[in-house]
């Protein structure tokens, strides 16, 4: 079970931590909601809102835009642009520099092994007999909106996270959440949690799992919602740049999931089809109803992460018919959720925001064919290049311990063996590596620890740098050059600080929110302080974002 020492610790931290970038919001008068719903659409580029606008109905994205506030120039203000980092940054109001989530996984230089953002062997899986639910938020160094809500209400009110991925449900709701639920794929197909939150699943979760809803989606077919000839915002359905499902010769509609499941790890298919988003909506609505969110005298908070958009985006890319159809169906999921909130909670009783953890690059193979600079740079190839640098300068290729998440780690034992200084070796690697045609920027641990960058890619790199956790040298590839990706498989990826990865939607809607739009620049780290101001609670203790005053009544 969770250790309630954390809330006391956070209360102490809050009294000693103050952001020096917080906007004075004393002139804002609030309309506090009964329920706040945060939605993160995994891998949603901003331009999907404009490209597919005429494909959406009036009840989903367009309802939020027309009756809420649309911030058109919202960006990630750090790199790397990864799922765990984005979810943590949105809900803590700060960047990896402070919250410590460095990627979905990263290399722990103290333990000398890769670690996951949420895996935690100190807790057991609840819901299935497996280690896939051993998770907690203990690597998150700061509080979240949900933590602050609990502290403000003397631990009253409910804070719940729901996401297909563990990192999409655990990190948003922080340390004091009542629950975080995620979907375990493979042969299981169930929503689970860990003993960090509870010793057994609530009856409503078990009933949902036993109802076979996930299996029904797995045994369905994904075909285009409209006639495929109308999908003119996308490229050809059959093209050479997309990844294939096992058992298929072409990446074309329709996709019979029941026929594909045996060769594609069964419920893993739900992450790569819109059916996974439909299942997430079903589960979120069941949680709202069963937990009676928005019905008590205190405020509640629900974080929902839609993940199938990410799986489909990686496989088919942003110019695919599959992505266009996915967002047409995502629009329908939003309409379903909003209608349910209207009926269950009341139109005037909830506030909702929607954003994304990151965007994505166009498929490099496609860009290359169109004569844009792009490509793939496998990690093993880069490792060999860096090893050659230290071999040439110091006669010892073993000085390189690991390359992961655009971080290069130098081996301490080899430094002592060769009687070298870490800073000298790091400076050599940074100086020589940037000469490579696929590398745009490099920076050493010393540079990012001692200098302050205020703009450009170096500033973004610095906000994604954590003095305690990061490597000895950090690097960025040139635009549309994808690192650590198997170039033989096609598909695409994200992780950079470039516009295609960092420009995301940001929509506010509901109680206390104005109607309008803006082209002013904002960062996703501004979301937390804005929502906390609306709720009249303290900001997360590591917050560095500003209140977006123009959205609040």
Active site residues: 83
CA 305 to chain centroid: 8
d(Cα 512, Cα 527) in Å, to the nearest integer?
14
Whether omega before 254 lies within 30 degrees of 0, making that bond cis, reads yes
CA 343 to chain centroid: 29
Paired tokens of 328: 């047409």
- 525: helix, coil or strand? coil
DSSP E strand stretches across 5-118: 35-41, 69-75, 105-108, 113-116
| Rg from Cα positions in the chain | 23
Query: Read out DSSP for 173-219?
Result: H-SS-SEEEEEETTTT-EEEEETTT-SS--HHHHHHHHTTHHHHHHT
H or E segment and range at residue 288: helix 275-290
* CA distance to 48, 56, 318, per residue, from 322 (Å): 13, 15, 9
Roughly what angle, to the nearest 10 degrees, separates helices 275-290 and 321-344? 10
d(Cα 299, Cα 536) in Å, to the nearest integer?
11
d(Cα 91, Cα 329) in Å, to the nearest integer?
26
């Amino acid at each position: 079970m969770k250790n309630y020492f954390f809330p006391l610790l956070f209360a102490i931290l809050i009294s000693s931590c103050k952001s020096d970038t917080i906007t004075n919001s004393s002139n804002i008068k609030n309309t506090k909601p009964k329920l706040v719903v945060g939605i993160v659409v995994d891998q949603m580029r901003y331009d999907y809102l404009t490209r597919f606008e005429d494909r959406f109905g009036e009840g989903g994205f367009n309802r939020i835009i027309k009756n809420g506030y649309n911030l058109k120039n919202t960006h990630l203000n750090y790199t790397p642009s990864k799922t765990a980092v984005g979810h943590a940054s949105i809900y803590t109001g700060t960047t990896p520099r402070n919250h410590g989530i460095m990627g979905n996984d990263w290399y722990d230089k103290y333990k000398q092994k890769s670690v996951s953002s949420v895996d935690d062997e100190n807790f057991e899986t609840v819901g299935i007999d497996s280690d896939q639910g051993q998770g907690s938020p203990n690597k998150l160094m700061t509080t979240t909106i949900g933590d602050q809500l609990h502290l403000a209400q003397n631990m009253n009110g409910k804070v719940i996270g729901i996401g297909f991925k563990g990192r999409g449900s655990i990190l948003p709701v922080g340390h004091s959440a009542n629950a975080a639920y995620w979907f375990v794929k493979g042969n299981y197909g169930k929503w689970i949690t860990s003993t960090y939150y509870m010793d057994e699943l609530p009856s409503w979760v078990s009933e949902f799992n036993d109802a076979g809803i996930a299996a029904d989606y797995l045994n369905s077919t994904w075909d285009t919602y409209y006639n495929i000839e109308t999908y003119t915002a996308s490229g050809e359905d059959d093209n050479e740049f997309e990844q294939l499902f096992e058992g298929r010769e072409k990446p074309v509609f329709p996709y019979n999931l029941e026929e594909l499941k045996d060769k594609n790890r069964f419920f893993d298919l739900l992450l790569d089809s819109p059916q996974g988003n439909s299942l997430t909506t079903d589960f979120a609505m069941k949680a709202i109803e069963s937990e009676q969110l928005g019905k008590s005298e205190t405020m509640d908070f629900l974080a929902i992460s839609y993940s199938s958009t990410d799986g489909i985006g990686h496989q088919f890319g942003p110019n695919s018919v599959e992505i266009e159809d996915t967002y047409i169906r995502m629009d329908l999921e939003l309409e379903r959720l909003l209608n349910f909130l209207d009926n269950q909670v009341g139109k005037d009783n909830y506030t909702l925001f929607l954003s994304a953890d990151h965007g994505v690059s166009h498929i490099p193979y496609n860009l290359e064919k169109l004569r844009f600079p792009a490509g793939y740079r496998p990690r093993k190839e880069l490792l060999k290049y860096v090893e050659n640098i230290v071999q040439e300068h110091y006669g010892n290729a073993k000085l390189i311990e690991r390359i992961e998440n655009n971080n290069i780690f130098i081996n301490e034992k080899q430094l002592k063996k060769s009687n070298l200084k870490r800073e000298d070796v790091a400076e050599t690697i940074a100086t020589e590596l940037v000469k490579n045609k696929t590398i745009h920027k490099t920076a050493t641990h010393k540079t990012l620890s001692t200098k302050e960058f205020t703009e450009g890619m170096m500033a973004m790199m610095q906000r994604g740098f954590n003095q305690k956790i990061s490597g000895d040298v950090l690097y960025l590839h040139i635009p549309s050059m994808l690192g650590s990706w198997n170039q033989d498989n096609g598909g695409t990826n994200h992780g950079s600080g470039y516009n295609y990865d960092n420009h995301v939607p940001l929509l506010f809607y509901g109680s206390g929110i104005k109607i309008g739009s803006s082209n002013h620049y904002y960062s996703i780290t501004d979301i937390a302080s804005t929502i906390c101001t609306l709720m009249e609670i303290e900001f997360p203790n590591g917050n560095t974002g500003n209140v977006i005053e123009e959205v609040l009544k």
